[in-house]
Structure 1
Amino acid sequence: MKVWDFRLALCASTAIAVAMPVQAQEAVGEAGNDIVVSARRKDERLQDVPISITVFNPDQLAERNVVNASDLATYTPSLSSNSNFGTENTTFAIRGFAQDIGTLPSVGAYFAEVVTPRGASNGVPTGDGVLPGSFFDLQNVQVLKGPQGTLFGRNTTGGAVLLVPQKPTSQLEGYLEGSYGNYDMKRVQGAINLPLSDTFRVRLAGDRMTRDGYLNNVGGIGPKDFSDVDYWAGRLSIVGDLTPNLENYTIFSYVHSDTNGPLTKLVAADPTEGMGGFAAAQLARQGSGFYDVINPLADSYSKIDQWQVINTTTWQASDTLTIKNIASYAEYKQTINAGQFGVDFLIDFAQVNPALAALGTYHVPFTQISPPPGLKTADQNTFTEELQLQGHTPDGRLEWQTGGYLEVSRPLGESGSQSPFLASCTDQGAQFQCVDPIGFLSNLNPAVPDVAKPLHVGSVNYTVGKTYFHDVGLYAQATYKLTEQLKVTGGIRYTWDRQRNISDRRTYVPNYPPVPGLFPMTVNPRCTDPAAVATGCVVELKQSSNKPTWLLGLDYNPTPDILVYAKYARGYRAATIAPNVAAPLNLVEPEKVDTYEAGVKASFHGAVRGTFNMAAFYNDFSNQQLQIGFNAAPGSGQSSTAAPVNVNKSKIYGLEAEASLTPFTGFDLSASYTYLHTEITSVPDFSNFHDPNFVLAAPFEEGDPEVLSPKHKLTASAKYTLPLAASIGDISFGAIFTYRSGMQINYTDRENPNPAIAAFSTLPSLSLLNLNMSWNSIAGSPVDLALFATNVTKEKYYTFAGSLGSPELGFETANVGEPRMYGLRLKYTFGR
């Protein structure tokens, strides 16, 4: 660690210790610091759990205007997000554990104790995350940091995000809330709780939100804006007390999202490289507006439909034994038709050569995601079954739990993409009515010998297949009180994972511009993988892994309000398949991490109340799964791609500090800080990689940091409630400040000789300010009013860049962060 980094980390954590709070602790109320979490698969007081956790209650989610996974990452220490394929396909990274194209999650996302359904698309990240329409009628959101492999299983090497819905209660109560804001944002949500009898309770909740996109499409093709929101979600929860000791809890949920699809912005071009000349011409058309983009597709959209049923049966078999069964079934469907990279090369042949004016003008997207005819981008079901036994000895010295887990995910049908690359298609490629104008331009190049003509540059890439998952786990964990103050915890889990992928990959070469007598109207399909000719372009890949994970920990309570803990945990991410590249990189080995963590949690009461939590951690990786970029080989007809590979060795260490303070009644302060050091310490040898379609782009190197891993991240908030009579209501004012230092986002761009492109290998530091005001129980009524504003200072920033900046391409695109958003909420509550 550099000296200045250490000093900054120490100063920040010390300042938090002296002054301010955990985001989780703003929920402190009359009950003191007794926030209840389920991080160890049972309800416990937050300050008693030896895990670094950030918790958000419904009020905090509303004050921060959290409506999607990217919003959650903004306010959570150690949590980052990648929304390169749209906010509805956001993936998480915690403490440098990232998930990207082709990898399985490193951060598990759970709703009501059930992992989110898989998407299993071929090459496009879908499923496995938190969808729009998930952040309503929640009890809380818990972000668990560090490996959770014993109790939550594989693919939680980075941690887990738990969404806990409101459970039906025995009161007749509910609420109705309406919001309106800029970009014509409209949102209506509500819930009603119905105790139909002493033993039967029902809760019905819904959420509907629309918002225009903040990206202005100035190209005149397709929707007028992007980064829009349009979803509705419904949830029916039923609790039945079958006997005094037997409870059945069932949740039915449905989410539908229909947006204009993902779109990045063309941000840099070098006319001397690759296709940089075309990109430079687009930049001139695009203009200088920060939120101006150009969309290449007339019909651009992303549609998601997911329904799920979760059934939890809990039997209190005796005073010392509880048996719980959690079963779920879900179906996830998504269809994406999008020119994701926001590139629309315009070719006017009359300007190239007046003699070619008959060829007209062509719009040529760089590449796009399009559904194959009659199919979806993702079409998958997921079934899970978990049986838990929890108990304790009569004297309470030993607490234990054990269980078994089964997850089976199967395709509902074939899915994938059929995507043009540098081809102009009147039907977006569905029937291959495409031409190859850039190839024709290359054919006119006198420097190319006639024997090499005609040159085909454009293509249509067809990838359709099915992916199967089968995962089994057995686990046990126990905590034993050596004394009333000292506890030891041990846990182990063994997991067996299998994955099978069957993919049909073809490349279609379209015709040149259709000039009669000049070029034949032919389309020549070929197997994308030449080795698959004998099998009709179909390749079947299988991958399996099985590993133990474990936990050993000591907890010590010098006082009832102080917890000191230390633990050693093994984490594991399952082996996976990368069907878009050739052997040996198409089979990715499992990831293993050893984590050492020590922490302290303290709370204090009285006239001044607050908490202080700190954790220091060190992670030692073997075979970490990281994404690497590949450039298209000359003449392959492929677009650049990315795939996961195994890194030999890497290490991550850092510290997290969170604190809360209520110096006097009505005034709450909070802060959280993370210092994170990530380093790749040994890189693999890629010399054996030979793929007819791709060449390795600039890879990571020894000493590199990992992507989406800012070294410093800080959130601070303050809230003041005016001392008014209850007949007036509660009026409060709040401010939330977030800071993130610069971070690496790809390894490709930095190798570009053009500084404008090379700069997009990293993101600069970012500071955001949010403000909110609320008037609860207006004049003693059941009506609440709130005003909110995010990004108050109107910062213009990017959230990701897509690793396109190789010299072979000559341009780069990036995701644009949200501008200032503001609005108001009006909420009516009954039965409160």
Structure 2
Amino acid sequence: MFPHYLSAARAGTLALSAGLLTYSLPVLSQNGQGAETENNNAPVLEEIIVTAQRKAQNLQDVAISMTVLSQDQIANANMSNSADIATYTPGLSTNNRFGSENASFAIRGFTKELRTTASVGVYFAEVTAPRGQNVQTSGDGAGPGTLFDLSNIQVLKGPQGTLFGRNTTGGAVLMVPNKPEDTFGGYLEYSGGDFGLNQYQTVLNVPLSDSFKLRFGVDHKEKDGYLNNVTRIGTSELNNVDYTAVRASALWDINDTMQNYLVVNYADSETFGNTSRLFDCTDDTPLENPLVAFTGLGCQQQLADQAANGNDGFYDVVSTVSKPITAIEDLRIINKFSWNFSENYTLNAIMAITELYTENSSDVFGTQFTETQAAVLPFGFDISVADPNREFSPGVSLTNPNRPVTDQQGRVAELQIQGMAFEDKLDWQAGVYYEDSKPNGFSGNDSAILISCEIATIETGDPEQYNCFDPTGGQIGGVSNIRNKTEYENKAIYSQGTYHFNQTWALTTGLRYTWDDTEGEVLFAQHNFIGTIRQDPIVSDEQASQSSEAPTGLIELQYRPTETSMVYAKYVRGYRQGSVNMAADAGIQTHDEETVDTYEIGAKTSFEWIIPGRFNFALFHNELTDMQLQGGYVSTAKGPTTAIFNAGKAEIRGAEFDAFFQLTEGLSLSLSYSRLLTELLEAENNQAAVEAAGGPVAGSTFAPSAVEGDTLPFAADVSYTANVNYIFDLPLNAGRLSLGATHAYVGEQRMSASGTTPFDILPSFRITNINASWMDIAGLPLDLSAFVTNITDEEYATYISGTDSSLGFSSRQMGAPKMYGARLRYHF
């Protein structure tokens, strides 16, 4: 976990490059000097304040394994989104199937599959992130424009079954924005670097009076993409960054007992999006996999072409979408009213409105198979009339000009009371929670699936202009138009309290009861072709709903053998709601709730020995019932798609530790480690259900994400981060210099079920970052920082499609190469 510093702008220090350290260097006073002890000038450790239990507490007093990242660490690691956070947080992974901007979190192996609800709750200013539609992954994460002017990011590991809103079986990620302060101030900052990095950031804090304060911030970032599109169709680069975020907040101390805090955050991001890189073709024959007849020759030819023309580099990709886009608009309006209506009681009322709008057009698998490369084409098709503008598409997802992929509005309301009783021995809180998320009309996308088409004609959104040819005579492929609505409603009541028997022993109990309802509707139109003649569309209107309810909570015993150490043992029940998946075929469009029983023991210690520091560890055992897992298949009606099944039972065991050592007054070392042992213990065979719903091809191409005996998806077996930092004063009052290095390792992760592809496991990778900062240059209010991320230029994948058994090839998404940059900040 990360060392957490005081504000670099005022403390005269610089935060390290991103690492995974929840602990800090010595605390520094406001003039940049180390705080002195009674006996010497050695600095002492800073107390880190977190809100993991919905109130401000010392990190060492909270019986939760967690990671805390400061704003400076986010900046030094060049973070922009969810995927970046996970790289430097052991035990935290992301599903990058639809690009890093739409990545979803997984903690300790609790995975959010495509079209399930989140297993990790993401909260900004105590309010959950807006949901997206589930046709593609969107929402529920830390999107562009949320990672600036933060007090910190807190990653809570393990089920948070009582105090947080919904479905936190894996954990929670808390983003805490800086509140308005008492003094006038702020900063102007510019960052530049390779890949065309240009970032402008400004924050202004204005206290209008002793009781009313405002804070404003703007963050604009542009960076060229590192993926080279060799076709040059639409764009020459992918995976770029281009967003603007605006934040305004107001803090009003109404009187001595009442306070109102309002924060508004708006982010607008529009990029060329992402795509995968084709890298392998299956050895299966058409008899073993019928779809190889359509993709096999094209796959082999594309790999040969990539090698022959020099476009076989790790970051060379193929995209034939003429208007590639990943657009995200995210609005959050959050208000928290607090009333200390007596000495021992506080009432908190939180209300929020969120809006999420997304568009996405991308070549999902990164292929360009010409029309004549399907082996069946010579049978009944005159190759001489083949259209060079058409390509056989295994799956291209396109935004329809008349509707977005997501257009969702959410409302959150929570009423909470916190109090003390029995001469302050009992610290308790209770509340009611309500959330709904409703679509602003239909949303969805268009797809050309297992059919030969001119992609640009599909992008028009007008079926009359489609230029397609179906080599199967309309039996499998087609162009699909999906219009989707998904509505969520979540209600809960909860209570949690800690009773301190004495200064040594304490018992915490909590209980939450949750009611969840989901309703979905999809208007589906399939345009089939016989030869080049478009047939009348096959239209369906499908509806599904799912309701679930469950109690969750915890029992936790704490023991403090000394003032600076705490040992705990706890049991937690977690729950993830049942939901709908309208992209699947009728009959397999719903899935039930998932539950988990977690047993954990751990310790948190601080010490002031010859080498002061901290050491925390946790051992945990999770038993999952009715785990929600994904299975991919090729539907006769809907093409390549996925269904969600309650797979059976699974087990997750593991250990985590983090340590911080202040080796000398200016030299610190931090280590953090996670080890996961996961296994799918029982799994039902859902092939028959898939075949009954989607047809014979669906059954023969069905590929679950895990089978019995497999490790669980997106659960890195080993991950760790090490960080070293050295801070020292420069002579002649020239300022203060910080030098830091961070090394992060992410172990192997399952991507697909064993036996379905030779690439079922995502290989491990490691990243090393360095940074240097000169703070308060020559006594002026200027800070200069430089950073290099992935300094060894490691080539690593972040996702593998695992579609050998279904589509006949494999594609992967790639992580960022080496990047460098510098920041200049003027603070006032």
Q: TM-score, normalised by structure 1?
A: 0.90
Q: Alpha-carbon deviation of 1:428? A: 2.0
Does the CA contact (< 8 Å) of 1:344 and 1:366 recur in 2?
Answer: no
The Cα offsets for residues 779-800 of structure 1, whole Å up to 9 and x where unpaired, read as: 1111111111111111111111
* Paired position in structure 1 for 2:39: none
* Paired position in structure 1 for 2:573: 570
Match of 2:410 among 382, 387, 395: 382
Distance in 1 (alpha carbons) for counterparts of 2:20 and 2:458: 50
Q: Are 1:233 and 2:245 counterparts? A: yes
* Paired position in structure 1 for 2:22: 24
**AA of the residue aligned to 1:283:** L
Q: Are 1:463 and 2:482 counterparts? A: yes
Q: Are 1:816 and 2:828 counterparts? A: no
**Helix, strand or coil at the partner of 1:372:** coil
The Cα offsets for residues 753-781 of structure 1, whole Å up to 9 and x where unpaired, read as: xxxxx1x2112221211111111111111
Q: Alpha-carbon deviation of 1:456? A: 5.0
Q: Alpha-carbon deviation of 1:350? A: 14
Does the CA contact (< 8 Å) of 1:349 and 1:361 recur in 2?
Answer: no
* Paired position in structure 2 for 1:371: 399
* Paired position in structure 2 for 1:434: 466
Match of 2:747 among 741, 750, 753: 741
Q: Alpha-carbon deviation of 1:347? A: 3.0
* Paired position in structure 2 for 1:518: none
* Paired position in structure 2 for 1:477: 496
Q: Are 1:305 and 2:329 counterparts? A: yes
- Which residues of 2 match residues 177-188 of structure 1 at below 5 A? 177-188=189-200
**Helix, strand or coil at the partner of 1:722:** strand
Q: Alpha-carbon deviation of 1:427? A: 2.1
Q: Are 1:546 and 2:552 counterparts? A: no
Does the CA contact (< 8 Å) of 2:601 and 2:618 recur in 1?
Answer: yes
Q: Are 1:396 and 2:415 counterparts? A: no
**Helix, strand or coil at the partner of 1:60:** helix
Distance in 1 (alpha carbons) for counterparts of 2:119 and 2:58: 26
* Paired position in structure 2 for 1:285: 305
Match of 1:705 among 707, 711, 725: 711
* Paired position in structure 2 for 1:802: 801
Distance in 2 (alpha carbons) for counterparts of 1:96 and 1:242: 45
**AA of the residue aligned to 1:736:** T
* Paired position in structure 2 for 1:85: 98
**AA of the residue aligned to 1:497:** D
Match of 1:623 among 623, 626, 636: 626
* Paired position in structure 1 for 2:680: 680
Q: Alpha-carbon deviation of 1:71? A: 1.0
Does the CA contact (< 8 Å) of 1:24 and 1:57 recur in 2?
Answer: no
* Paired position in structure 2 for 1:727: 733
**Helix, strand or coil at the partner of 1:460:** strand
Does the CA contact (< 8 Å) of 1:556 and 1:565 recur in 2?
Answer: yes
Does the CA contact (< 8 Å) of 1:673 and 1:715 recur in 2?
Answer: yes
Distance in 2 (alpha carbons) for counterparts of 1:126 and 1:387: 28
* Paired position in structure 1 for 2:236: 224
**Helix, strand or coil at the partner of 2:363:** coil
Q: Alpha-carbon deviation of 1:507? A: 1.1
**Helix, strand or coil at the partner of 1:71:** helix
Q: Alpha-carbon deviation of 1:395? A: 2.0
Does the CA contact (< 8 Å) of 1:381 and 1:411 recur in 2?
Answer: yes
* Paired position in structure 1 for 2:362: 338
**Helix, strand or coil at the partner of 1:24:** coil
Distance in 2 (alpha carbons) for counterparts of 1:726 and 1:204: 36
Does the CA contact (< 8 Å) of 1:89 and 1:131 recur in 2?
Answer: yes
* Paired position in structure 1 for 2:15: none
Distance in 1 (alpha carbons) for counterparts of 2:390 and 2:783: 51
**Helix, strand or coil at the partner of 2:165:** coil
Distance in 2 (alpha carbons) for counterparts of 1:784 and 1:510: 63
**Helix, strand or coil at the partner of 1:285:** helix
* Paired position in structure 2 for 1:357: 384
* Paired position in structure 1 for 2:36: none
Distance in 1 (alpha carbons) for counterparts of 2:721 and 2:373: 54
The Cα offsets for residues 28-63 of structure 1, whole Å up to 9 and x where unpaired, read as: 524723100000000000000000010011122222
Distance in 2 (alpha carbons) for counterparts of 1:703 and 1:457: 33
Distance in 2 (alpha carbons) for counterparts of 1:671 and 1:104: 32
**AA of the residue aligned to 1:683:** A
Between 795-804 and 160-169, the greater mean CA deviation after superposition: 795-804
Q: Alpha-carbon deviation of 1:709? A: 0.8
**Helix, strand or coil at the partner of 2:206:** strand
Q: Alpha-carbon deviation of 1:726? A: 7.1
Q: Alpha-carbon deviation of 1:293? A: 0.7
The Cα offsets for residues 401-438 of structure 1, whole Å up to 9 and x where unpaired, read as: 0000000111111111121113313422511233444x
* Paired position in structure 1 for 2:35: none
Q: Alpha-carbon deviation of 1:369? A: 1.6
**Helix, strand or coil at the partner of 2:585:** coil
**AA of the residue aligned to 2:668:** D
* Paired position in structure 1 for 2:784: 785
Between 272-281 and 213-222, the greater mean CA deviation after superposition: 272-281
Match of 1:133 among 132, 141, 145: 145
* Paired position in structure 1 for 2:261: 249
**AA of the residue aligned to 1:782:** P
The Cα offsets for residues 519-546 of structure 1, whole Å up to 9 and x where unpaired, read as: xx3333114xxxxxxxxx1111110001
**AA of the residue aligned to 1:691:** A
Does the CA contact (< 8 Å) of 1:264 and 1:340 recur in 2?
Answer: yes
Quickly say closer, same or farther: Cα 1:344–1:637, change in 2 above 3 A: farther
Quickly say closer, same or farther: Cα 1:349–1:397, change in 2 above 3 A: closer
Between 35-44 and 574-583, the greater mean CA deviation after superposition: 574-583
The Cα offsets for residues 572-618 of structure 1, whole Å up to 9 and x where unpaired, read as: 00011122223543211000000000000001236632110000000
Quickly say closer, same or farther: Cα 1:424–1:561, change in 2 above 3 A: same
Q: Alpha-carbon deviation of 1:242? A: 1.1
Does the CA contact (< 8 Å) of 2:588 and 2:689 recur in 1?
Answer: no
Match of 1:113 among 126, 129, 132: 126
**Helix, strand or coil at the partner of 2:301:** helix
Q: Give the aligned CA root-mean-square deviation in angstroms.
A: 2.0
Quickly say closer, same or farther: Cα 1:612–1:726, change in 2 above 3 A: farther
Does the CA contact (< 8 Å) of 1:57 and 1:139 recur in 2?
Answer: yes
- Which residues of 2 match residues 644-655 of structure 1 at below 5 A? 644-655=644-655
The Cα offsets for residues 635-665 of structure 1, whole Å up to 9 and x where unpaired, read as: x264322222112111101000001010111
**Helix, strand or coil at the partner of 1:147:** coil
Does the CA contact (< 8 Å) of 1:572 and 1:591 recur in 2?
Answer: yes
Distance in 2 (alpha carbons) for counterparts of 1:148 and 1:198: 37
- Which residues of 2 match residues 444-455 of structure 1 at below 5 A? 454=473
Distance in 1 (alpha carbons) for counterparts of 2:522 and 2:568: 48
Does the CA contact (< 8 Å) of 1:28 and 1:35 recur in 2?
Answer: no
* Paired position in structure 1 for 2:527: 508
Does the CA contact (< 8 Å) of 1:594 and 1:619 recur in 2?
Answer: yes
Distance in 2 (alpha carbons) for counterparts of 1:726 and 1:493: 59
Q: Alpha-carbon deviation of 1:455? A: 5.4
Q: Are 1:591 and 2:612 counterparts? A: no
Distance in 2 (alpha carbons) for counterparts of 1:746 and 1:349: 27
Q: Alpha-carbon deviation of 1:207? A: 0.6
Distance in 2 (alpha carbons) for counterparts of 1:339 and 1:639: 15
- Which residues of 2 match residues 8-19 of structure 1 at below 5 A? none
**AA of the residue aligned to 1:434:** Y
Q: Alpha-carbon deviation of 1:732? A: 1.6
Q: TM-score, normalised by structure 2?
A: 0.90
The Cα offsets for residues 96-141 of structure 1, whole Å up to 9 and x where unpaired, read as: 00002110000000000000011124x2111111111111000000
Q: Are 1:317 and 2:341 counterparts? A: yes
**Helix, strand or coil at the partner of 2:86:** helix
Q: Alpha-carbon deviation of 1:300? A: 0.8
- Which residues of 2 match residues 47-62 of structure 1 at below 5 A? 47-62=60-75
